[in-house]
Amino acid sequence: MNIFKNKSIVAYISLVIPVLAVVLAIIGGATKGLLGDTFSWVIVLFLVLGAVVSIAAFLFPKVEIIQAIAPIFYGLALGLIMLDGVEVISYGLIGIDNDVGGQMSLTFLYLILGAVTFILSIVSAFFDYSKKVSA
């Protein structure tokens, strides 16, 4: 069984999504740049669950509902990053001495990676992963 046979370009692009999610989880867990100098384990959990669901969507393209579940996990992770990061960013932009912990540049990195992962997962949910074979 060749899992890469008759896959569309969107299916290959969808393989980038779990890689981005795992990279974000690793960077976030290693640097801890959000509120209180932490990176919540719940964010990591949502990113890993989203990556597992994204890989399952690639492996089982006939079960199309799986493609719609991954953006939920990525959206929850992005929402939690926004929730923890808004105070860090606001202190950084105002110029007040940051007493809540976190780093503004790392928070922006988390937000960008999280947003790209979320948007790509939404876009890939609308496309078919199998290549159309013409007669």
Spatial distance between the Cα atoms of 131 and 108, rounded to a whole number of angstroms: 36
pLDDT band at 134 (very low <50, low <70, confident <90, very high): low
Judged by average pLDDT, the poorest of 4-18, 44-58, 72-86, 104-118 is: 4-18
* The amino acid at 124: S
pTM of the model: 0.87
pLDDT band at 113 (very low <50, low <70, confident <90, very high): very high
- Flag whether pLDDT at 103 surpasses 70: yes
- How is residue 15 written in tokens? 């393989």
